[in-house]
Amino acid sequence: MSGHDCESCPVAAELAPMGMQVGAIDRVIALAGNPNTGKSTLFNALTGLHQHTGNWPGKTVTRAEGGFAWNDVRYKIVDLPGTYSLLSASQDEEVARDFILFGQPHAVIVVTDASALERNLNLALQVLEITDRVVVAVNLMDEARRKGIDVDTRSLSRDLGVPVVPIVARTGEGMPALLSAVDGVSSGAISTSPLRVTGTPEFEHAVRELMTQVEAAAPGVPNSRWLAIRLLDGDARVEQALRTGELARMVSRQQQRDVRFSKQIALQGAQ
Amino acid sequence: MSDRVIETVPPDADAVLARARELRRQLSGGFREEAVKSLYAEAERVARRAVSQGGDMRAIAFEQRIDRLVTSPWFGLPIMLVLLAIVFWLTIAGANVPSALLAQGLFWIEAQAVTLFDAAGVPWWITGFLWHGVYRGLAWVVSVMLPPMAIFFPLFTVFEDLGYLPRVAFNLDFLFRRAGAHGKQALTMAMGFGCNAAGVIATRIIDSPRERLVAILTNNFVPCNGRFPTLIMLGTIFVGASFAPAFASVAAAGAVVGVVILGIGFTLLMSWLLSRTILRGEASAFTLELPPYRRPNIGRIFYTSLIDRTLFVLYRAMWTAAPAGAVIWLLANIRWGDRTLAAISAGWLDPLGHAIGLDGVILLTYVIAIPANEIVVPTLVMAYMGTGMMTEMEGLGDLRRLLVDQQGWTTLTAVNLMLFSLLHNPCATTILTIYKETLSAKWATVGALLPLGTAFLVCFLTATLARAFGWGG
């Protein structure tokens, strides 16, 4: 389906940018991705904002939030700083990771660059470790086509276990498909089975043991596997979250979906 | 938040952590690398299945060749300097005519308004204050700043959009690292060329607080857009004028590039000094990935560079120029005895000014121009002419006659003024921004005094040395 035919179809017409007016919100969506994948372009296309963007890591430092409505659902969208991974302790990566983990967005859109997919999938896989509510957007399809690169998004979707949508954020191509995937994943209508990378047997054994312990310490925590791996790695932030009871709080928040908290994290990211 | 759970620390958190530590010890040391490796292998496997590369490998090979050239150890820096020179040359050569036209138009409005006010019998001091003070200040700032910005910012944005700036950071990384700073500081420094306040905000991309402070405190050593008019004027009338007209703008651009290189040199030197004294520490490594080159999006370039940057900077400059214009008018028109306040304070500052190769009027100008560097030249000219208002000269020849023949400027004065303009304290907005970013009055003070002290020291040394060799007055 070509995107240009779609721009006039009724589904696309329902997108209503809400700019900074994010008062009453139904769902929170996070945008993650490597630098230079067009995250901010997508953010601007959805919200109608003109966020200042640039070609270097961490350029997204302020005003990373906006809103849009689609199909009568009001979304708040949080543009996270571009990062290559979520494993180190740099400020950008912590902001992104903490939001995905503690901000508990209803869905995470991982924006990837079609012409550098392998490099981008490293981050996508790391996001999939934390949450299963992921939609992968393969952006810059036009540039990839120009370079003769073809991306089989169905194969990707099958392998990753989450919806994968080809888009061109600059022109709006693929937007309706992306929005309906986001709708499906964030409402729970689409159930995903994310690819999780397994390690050596001894590693897996240790992970499984810690998982049970983490679940005991914070009953109902959704990403115990990822948390266990981080604890094994000696991640100070996760250790602290466990010690202060933040993880337990997270679980209790899961039902009430505290939007204010997510905003707070996003603001911390801005500072 | 009224969560009941907040106070409840899970009883076995420490036990879990202890168990995690234990398990970590049991695992073979390289498990983290193993995990990362299998992650990367998985990404590669998934990507290989999904991506098929059709014919056109040539475009990619071409990009790689360009990359190898612009980031090569031999050609990287020269190419960068040549591009910089071209940008300055286009700015200098292209801004003259529109600047003159704008000035003509805006000053014509002033003349008409003054005639109208006089005819209506409005007291001279109201007319003077409003039109010769506030309005003239604004008109000057708009006509001097708008055209260069409207050329400089889009050009700069083209490089940004192309993906060239990360390559600049790549080229400069080794210098900054050797100075104990962060490679990304090359980028925040580049932002400083547009506006130091923006450069200070841009240091948020640097993770380590120590290196971020180094970047904040040294950002002011590259001249911002507001200081370029001063540098361009000095370059044009003292450097450009000694060349044939055809080469004048090239020579002037060359002089400005020279000042810029000096500014980069001071940035590195100061970073080095800071990271070896009050901000001691290791330089942290970072991997900067070079993004693919992108075809610049012309519409967006015009949007970001004209709306976000040009108009924003201009708006700010106008807000500071209007009150400054008022202050200048008052200083030049209020008399104490038979001298104006401006003349008195300039006389008072003269010995200090002379010691650093400048004079009292120039120092007074810099005191008045703390709100914005953009108003240095008009304030200077006004103070010299004692006309009681910011003055527009007919052309640069007139300016040269005024400075050299009437005020006794020498090449030493011009050189020291260029140095002073490059090194002196940041404008009020930048100081405020440093305070907001560091939330520390101490660092804001250091950010203001470190450059000012450097400016005095360097100018004093230059003047003393030059005089010892019998150059300059």
Chain centroid to CA A30: 5
Rounded to a whole number, what is the distance in Å from the CA of A9 to chain B's nearest CA?
26
Same domain, A47 and A161: yes
- Res. A179: pLDDT tops 90: yes
Does residue A196 lie within any of the structural domains? no
The shortest CB-CB distance from A147 to any of B31, B56, B287 is to B56
Neighbours of A148 (CB within 10 A): 16
Can you read off the two tokens belonging to residue A71?
A: 């199909």
User: The domain spanning residue A54 has which CATH number?
Assistant: 3.40.50.300
The shortest CB-CB distance from B17 to any of A198, A239, A244 is to A239
Can you read off the two tokens belonging to residue B348?
A: 């008072």
pLDDT at residue B57, as a whole number = 62
Q: Which domain holds residue A29?
A: 3-187
Same domain, A230 and A118: no
Does residue A222 lie within any of the structural domains? yes
- Res. A178: pLDDT tops 50: yes
From A54, A55, A74, A76, select the one nearest A65 (Cα to Cα).
A76
Same domain, A101 and A220: no
The shortest CB-CB distance from B34 to any of A91, A125, A199 is to A199
Same domain, A150 and A17: yes
Same domain, A46 and A126: yes
Contact B59 A147 (CB under 8 A): yes
pTM: 0.63
Q: Please give the Cα distance from A104 to A130 (Å, whole number).
A: 10
Does residue A137 lie within any of the structural domains? yes
Neighbours of B53 (CB within 10 A): 13
Same domain, A179 and A208: no
pLDDT at residue B266, as a whole number = 94
Q: For residue A123, report the phi and psi dihedrals to the nearest 5 degrees.
A: -70, -40
Same domain, A40 and A125: yes
- Residues B271 and B143: beta-carbon distance below 8 Å: no
Residue at a domain's end among A130, A159, A187: A187
Gyration radius of chain A over CA positions: 18
Band (A139; pLDDT cuts 50, 70, 90): very high
The number of folded domains in chain A is 2
Same domain, A83 and A209: no
The residue type of B130 is: L
> How does pLDDT run along chain B (473 residues), one tens digit per residue?
444 444 445 557 788 888 888 888 887 766 777 777 888 888 888 988 888 876 556 666 777 788 888 888 888 888 988 888 888 788 777 877 888 888 889 889 988 999 999 999 989 888 888 888 888 878 877 777 778 778 877 887 788 777 787 788 788 888 888 888 888 888 788 778 777 887 887 787 776 788 889 999 999 999 987 788 788 778 877 877 777 777 777 888 888 889 989 999 999 999 999 988 887 776 665 555 566 676 777 777 777 677 766 776 677 667 777 777 788 788 888 888 888 888 888 899 999 999 999 999 899 989 988 877 877 887 887 778 766 665 655 566 777 888 888 888 888 888 899 999 999 999 888 898 898 888 889 999 999 999 999 999 999 999 999 988 877 65
Same domain, A164 and A212: no
Query: Which chain B residues touch A118 with a CB distance below 8 Å?
Result: 43-44, 47-48, 51
- Residues A6 and A171: beta-carbon distance below 8 Å: no
Q: Please give the Cα distance from A156 to A34 (Å, whole number).
A: 18
Cβ–Cβ pairs < 8 A, chains A and B = 195
Which of A49, A56, A211, A231 to mutate to test binding with chain B, by most B CBs within 10 Å of its CB? Answer: A56
Same domain, A256 and A179: no
Residue at a domain's end among A152, A187, A222: A187
- Res. A111: pLDDT tops 90: yes
User: The domain spanning residue A229 has which CATH number?
Assistant: 1.10.287
ipTM value greater than 0.85: no
Can you tell me the mean pLDDT for A64-77? 84
Same domain, A14 and A111: yes
Does residue A61 lie within any of the structural domains? yes
Residue at a domain's end among A187, A216, A231: A187
